[in-house]
Structure 1
Amino acid sequence: MDENPVILDGGLATELEAAGFQIQGDPLWSAKILHTNPQAVKEAHCRFLRCGADVITTATYQASVEGFIQHLGLTSEQANQLLMSGVQLAKEAVQDFKGDGVHPGEH
């Protein structure tokens, strides 16, 4: 068994708050940023990857179809699409990271 530690991201909500987003007290937490500024979520993922994270999260910790309908006024279909966008943004960040040719420790 590989005994090397796996490096996880440092907390997506914390990273988004450091970038100036108000998350505390919002019932959707970082999931709201999927709706209001998805690019910021992707950029946070990219920062974690550039810093050496082996695992990133999808900004869907507090996300649910019901929550998006209740707190954002979305339709069920829109809420489902927004929920899946969290996964898509994470995948795009990984693809961008793999394609940029710059990895931690390389300059």
Structure 2
Amino acid sequence: MVERPNILVICGKNKRRSRTAEYMFKNDPRFNIRSAGLSPKSDRKISENDLNWANLVLVMETDHRAKIKEIYRHFQLPKIEVLNIPDEYEYLDEELIQIINEKTNDILKLKYNL
């Protein structure tokens, strides 16, 4: 059992969805969080260091998980969970915050009993 898990949140460009999640949970005492994007145009692009750091990766779409598994197939990847949140929200959108909160907390309860 991990004391305080490291959670990496991934979306396409790390501009709206994953950045919103990082902002929401950055002071949460239950876990550490950081966010990144898959696109070369990302504000912060995913790296091997991120994957080494993470105990759990949360991606917004199934395609994101497939892409990570393809790009880092030589790598021992942490568990990757899909949140299924489409790219139709702005940064810190109220509905986006509600969806991320609900889905992330469900996963944390299941995985870490947090």
Same fold (TM over 0.5): no
Higher strand share: 2
**Whose Rg is larger?**
1
Q: TM-score, normalised by structure 1?
A: 0.32
Higher helix share: 1
Q: TM-score, normalised by structure 2?
A: 0.31
